A = this chain, B = another copy of it.
Amino acid sequence: MPRAPRIASHLAAIPASVYSSLAERLGRFAGESYPLHVGDTWMEPAEGCRMEDLGVAEYPGMHRYASVHGMPALLDAIVERERAANGLSLERDDVLVAAGATGGLGAVAGAILEPGDEVLILAPYWPLIEGIVRSFHGTPVAVPVLAGEVDSAEAALAAVGRRRSARTVALYLSTPNNPSGRLLPRAWIEALVGWARRHDLWVITDEVYDGFVYEGEHVRALPLAPERTFLAQTFSKRYGMAGNRCGYIVGPRAVMGELRKVATHTFYSTPTAAQIAAVRAMAGPGDAWAAAACRQYADTGRRAAARLGLPAPAGSTFLFFDVAAALGADGLTGLLERAVERGLLVAPGPSFGPYPTHVRLCYTAVEPERALRGVEVLAGLLGR
């Protein structure tokens, strides 16, 4: 039998899932487990916005394709929301409904990247953005600024400036930040977006956790430079619908047609039922659900942080912190293995940038009291 032909080389730099072997071990754990490694919610979506609420009597043909662009009713609801949030005169053509923010960001990467183009990524970062850039033959360049490396807008600017090259085409940021739980200060965002404009770079702003702000001001990047900014949003977090795979991109109209081309060829259309569920959530109980979730998440986050001796998170659903002091000769891997032996899974720092001794913990992945028991397990392992 001949050898299979070769595979593409650019994927070699993307690690296979670092969780999968640990997650398998967790699946075999006999007692109560604490899968706090994935960003998800323990809450069911609001009543009226679940799959069971979407019938063919009310929505005939709801299992057929939706248009690649997105359903008109959903586009209109998104336009209305983003107009109000950003003070921009948006239209349907400024929006792409996508298979989650992930699908949308893939469409952005596919539309703007030539092979070898570089994207500056503020670190620590959402792990998938690195692989999204690589999947479309770009090169991610981490700029570590959000885990205490710098303490001013000027220093953040200097950090991106040092890493800009002739191949740099975009700057990616996320606020409220996954994984650090921080909000990017207004001065930082204004400085960074202005810098991107001066150097004619795209700005990609991932604000999928903007429903979960516990203290401080969430600053939107889109209105600062709408001619070059892609806003990534999703219904996954705000409405607890991650499995529905429905999010969207708002961006410069002139290039949205290019994003639609990539979307067409990577997921075709966003699930029709997911789009109907999003419309129902936006028009109905979604925001009340999100407000209740926000209070709940904030409380759990504060208690988890306090137990671990960390500052309370300002937003998102994560804690991200250095555990170097508690590591033995077997390093971070040893700690993660001891955690799994006790039913706890957290995400390793290197997934988020150059953080060999950090971990990320999602305190909303399971019910609050159970999450806090998982935090207790971790505190024990860390001697805190």
Contacts and interface: CB of A to CB of B under 8 A. Distances in A.
A201 interface: yes
Nearest to A15: B261
B265 A102 contact: yes
A29 interface: no
Contact of A271 (B8, B112, B197, B244): B244
11 contacts: A5-B112, A5-B169, A17-B68, A40-B65, A44-B61, A51-B52, A99-B266, A100-B268, A115-B115, A131-B261, A244-B271
Given A106-B266, A135-B266, A268-B128, A64 B243 contact: yes
Contact of A268 (B53, B197, B245): B245
Contacts of A110: 8, 11, 135
Contacts of A50: 55-56, 63
A153 interface: no
A41 interface: yes
A271 B268 contact: no
Contacts of A30: none
A227 interface: yes
A329 interface: no
A261 B227 CA distance: 31
Contacts of A325: none
Given A40-B64, A63-B243, 9 more contacts: A6-B112, A8-B111, A11-B258, A44-B63, A62-B243, A64-B242, A102-B266, A102-B268, A245-B270
Given A7-B111, A264-B128, A245 B245 contact: yes
A131 B113 CA distance: 16
A327 B265 CA distance: 31
Interface stretch (A157-165, A249-257, A335-343): A249-257
Contacts of A60: 44
Interface residues of A, number: 86
A51 to B, nearest CB: 4
A137 interface: yes
A261 B127 CA distance: 12
A266 B267 contact: yes
Nearest to A38: B65
A112 B243 contact: no
Interface string A96-115: 00011011001000111111
B113 A8 contact: yes
A137 B111 contact: no
A16 to B, nearest CB: 5
A368 to B, nearest CB: 16
Contact of A16 (B102, B136, B261): B261
